[in-house]
Amino acid sequence: MNKIFVNLILIVCLSFSNLLLAQTINKEFIDPPREFSVMPFWFWNDTLKSDEIVRQIADFDEHGVYGFVIHPRMGLPIGTKFLSPEMLSFMQVAIEEAERRDMKVILYDEGSYPSGSCEGQVVAKNPAHAARGLIKIDLEPGEEPQLEANWNLVTIIDSPSSKRFAIIERPSEGHIRGLHWIDEEKGKEDLPPAGDILNPEAVSSFIELVYDKFADNFGEYFGKTVIAVFTDEPNPVGRGNKRGVVPGNAKLLPQINEILGYDFTPHFADLWTEDSKDWEQHRKDYHRAIAICLEENYYGRLSNWCEEHGIALTGHPAGSMDLGAQRYFQIPGQDLVWRYVEPGEKALVGEHSTMAKNASSAMVHLNRRRNSNELYGAYGHNLTYDEMVWLANWCFVRGQNLLYPHAFYYSIRGARFNERPPDVGPNAKWWDNYKDYADACRRLSWLNTNSKQVCKIAVLGDANWLPDRSPKVLFQNQFDFNYLEMAHLGIDAMADKNGVHISGMDYKAVILDGGLKNLTNNAIPILQKLSENGRLIIYEDSPFASKFPNAILTKSPKKMVDAVKKLIEPDIVLTPSTGNIRYRHVIKEGAHYYILFNEEETLVNTKIELSVKGKQWWLNESNAETTKVQPDEEVVFQPHELKILMVEEM
């Protein structure tokens, strides 16, 4: 009798303890709103049928997928044109069904990519709106160039080495990937001509053919079911362009000169040759100016259109390091494709290792709510479920909060099975268990949204270049950071004796990586102030070190870590230390959350000491189960394991 009574007491105590624990855990972590769902690219790549569209949406819903990007894709029947009445009617079916199910839809602005041509309709409407570019033609002394139809002479240059060049503007002959196979068995595709997205008139035509048509047909859903339009890696010269073509045209030269502050005309040959001593700088200057022209004429105009119509511009620029263009996206984004990032060195080194922090940093500094990543594209049929989870966690621990899995296939019939694989959705072998992955992504997306990042370090970057050397050291020593684009300095990022302040972030240390080769005039006085107050750390040799005599010079990872520790109290200490663990700390609705990710393939045993004191729980992102942390607990991280640690601060 006594034993039964004792057992009853234990059951009551445990139930009461679990009740208190359930009250502590945010109910939205357990079941986050549907808006935080993954939103896969849904390849419309075969004969479309209304009942099949509805069936597949129901299947998504059952597996925890509560939104999608409608992506017309290679494999549609010849005759089904992009945004034809037939296609628009099928889009209407999908949007109405999404609305009925409380799901979200993103519209894709091209058929199929890169964006800017409306499946060649921009050029069909006006052939003068085909993509153009510049080429160099070698001339003999005294020779004049022979111009073909539709070519324009920009300038003739007599170089110091006695060479004579003509710079010619001409059609780039670039194309986009279309929607139809001309010969499916041979994989021969139609290749619609790319539009000239550096030409304001061509961009106006693109907006009219695509964006205005979206508004005319689906405007009643904007800001509710339809939340954004996706623009995809626009390329000024298109794909497969004529060899040697460089983006640009004669009409842009005054704008380029104004951006650069000098006349670029005498330096055009430096875009192709390395004869002059300053060719490298001139080449970088020119491409930076072209990027700004593209931002103003393309991204900026699409961004304004979306804002005026109550939806977001989402998608991503062409380059993993393109930070400057993110200011035009209401949802900044990047593209994790072609196995750019994998477990191992590629997770920390190279231009693509910067992409997730690129987009999440833009979100923070531009006061955006979400940032995104299109991931898994062309990772191949050998992509595993564990790799799929790893890549998502690689994004989440770097602050991303909206994933566009690439892709769910409407059909895998014939050649469609091998068109930029894999299918990571209904036709994947893990589909039956997909809800665990989808629910985990929903919780992590919720956690990274409307939360305050705890971060005291900024790493300086340019509009089109971001360092990876100093970030690697920070990642491996559990120091979180954001990339700070130079364009912010002196504009909305201000410095004082305590560091740099922007968008509610207070950075006590700013790192100038030696790989940065360009400083703007606005940046220099801000960095000088930081240097004078001991807040500027230079990592490895920098050509600008002499401008900042009071900066902290560090030429090794250890010295940089020591310099950071003198300015910042570590937020997390692992004993024993390990280079495997990446971390992110956010505060959401009064609770502290630490996302901890063993990015490597070796097991980690460690103890965790936090700067924040209070009651601690482990939260399982897949099933929302909770476990109270025991005092002085040794934590085991399995290879590639992610953990969430919640702290209720005392």
Over pLDDT 90: what percentage of the chain? 88
Most confidently modeled range among 207-221, 508-522, 538-552: 207-221
Amino acid found at 96:
E
Band of pLDDT at residue 644, cut at 50, 70 and 90: very high
**How sure is the predictor about 18, in pLDDT bands with cuts at 50, 70 and 90?**
very low
In this prediction the pTM is 0.94
Identify the pLDDT of residue 13: 39
Portions of the chain given CATH number 3.20.20.80 = 37-120+197-240+306-450
Q: What class has domain 574-649? A: mainly beta
pLDDT one-digit tens code per residue, 93-118: 999 999 999 999 999 999 999 999 99
Spatial neighbors of 425 by CB under 8 A, at least 6 apart, are 40, 60, 65, 405, 407, 408, 409, 431, 434
Average confidence (pLDDT) over 608-623: 96
pLDDT at 9 over 50: no
Region 237-248 average pLDDT: 94
Split at pLDDT 50, 70, 90, the class of 649 is confident
Question: 454-568: CATH homologous superfamily?
Answer: Response regulator (3.40.50.2300)
pLDDT score at 565: 97
* Degrees to nearest 5, angle at CA 223 with 217 and 228: 75
Kindly indicate the confidence band of residue 24, based on its pLDDT and cuts at 50, 70 and 90.
confident
**CATH 2.60.40.1180, the chain: domain bounds:** 574-649
Task: Give per-residue burial for 417-441: e unless 16+ CB within 10 Å, then b.
Answer: eebbbbbbbbbbeeeeebebbbbbb
Pick the CATH number of 37-120+197-240+306-450 from 2.60.40.10, 3.20.20.80, 1.10.220.150, 3.40.50.11540: 3.20.20.80
3-state SS class at 450: coil
Amino acid 499: pLDDT = 97
Pull the structure tokens for residue 355.
Answer: 């992409």
Least confident of 135-149, 383-397, 475-489: 135-149
pLDDT over threshold 50, residue 305: yes
Contact in structure between 535 and 508 (CB atoms under 8 Å): yes
More confident of the two residues 299 and 517: 299
CB 372 within 8 A of CB 339: no
Is the pLDDT reported for residue 159 higher than 90?
no
Task: Give yes or no for residue 14 having a pLDDT over 50.
Answer: no
Looking at the chain, the domain(s) classified CATH 3.40.50.2300 span: 454-568
Which position has the higher pLDDT, 38 or 7?
38
Assess contact for 593 and 613: CB atoms under 8 A.
no
